[in-house]
Amino acid sequence: MLFEGIKLMFVGMTTVMLFLILMILFINLVAMLTKGATARELEALEQERRLQAENRKKAKETASSGTDVDIAVIAAAVASYEAERFASV
pLDDT at 67 over 90: no
Cα distances (Å, whole numbers) of residue 53 to 25, 60, 67: 39, 10, 20
pLDDT tens profile 8-19: 999 999 999 999
For helices 35-87 and 2-33, angle between their N-to-C axes, nearest 10 degrees: 80
pLDDT at 54 over 80: yes
Global confidence as pTM: 0.49
